[in-house]
Amino acid sequence: MSINSRFAVAVHILALLALEGRPLSSKYIAGSVNTNPVVIRRILSLLSKAGFVDTQLGVEGGSTLARPAETITLLEVYNVSEQGQLFALHSNQPNPLCPCGRNIKPTLLTVFQKAEAALEGILAEATIADVVQDIEAQVQSQL
């Protein structure tokens, strides 16, 4: 029914890394997100494979941004944290003997792809740096 919270958590992680600017452990990040460190490590693993973060083992280790926050769009993060199609088509193949059943899938696919492209267009316009800036503005107003 909904895009899972991995995307929201992935953005949270990247924004936190950008804000603090030093290696953060999965335990520390989990404290901010309020979840288990393994949940964070699972997502960090995706982000690392995608080249968004570098990780360092050992004492004083942790993850840092591998690219400037200005260059990481939310669309890239979305694509890393979600897989598969946003809209599901029929779970079973419709009846090929019915004109509607035989032809509806390509028709739906066209609309679904347009809708998803529109959604992705918005996500492509925002970067992690924008998110950080937004958070910092809120923090300022809270002083």
The Cα 54–Cα 87 span in angstroms is 33
Can you tell me which residue has the tokens 């953005």? 11
Instruction: Pick one of DNA, a second copy, none as the site partner of residue 31 (Cβ within 5 to 8 A by kind).
Output: a second copy
Residue with Cβ nearer DNA (38 or 137)? 38
The 10 Å Cβ neighbour count of residue 41 is: 17
Instruction: Pick one of DNA, a second copy, none as the site partner of residue 66 (Cβ within 5 to 8 A by kind).
Output: none
The Cα 14–Cα 4 span in angstroms is 17
Instruction: Pick one of DNA, a second copy, none as the site partner of residue 62 (Cβ within 5 to 8 A by kind).
Output: DNA
Which H, E and C letters describe 31-83, residue by residue? HHHCCCHHHHHHHHHHHHHCCCEEEECCCCCEEEECCCHHHCEHHHHHHHHCC
Which position among 58, 59, 60, 92 is part of the footprint of a second copy (CB under 8 A)? 92
**Residue 16 interacting with a second copy (CB under 8 A):** yes
Residue with Cβ nearer DNA (111 or 139)? 111
The Cα 142–Cα 92 span in angstroms is 53
State the nearest-atom distance from the C-beta of 22 to a second copy, in Å: 14
With CB under 8 A, what is the number of residues at the site for a second copy? 61
Binding site for DNA (CB under 7 A): 1, 4-6, 24-27, 35-39, 41-42, 44-45, 48, 55-63, 88, 91-92
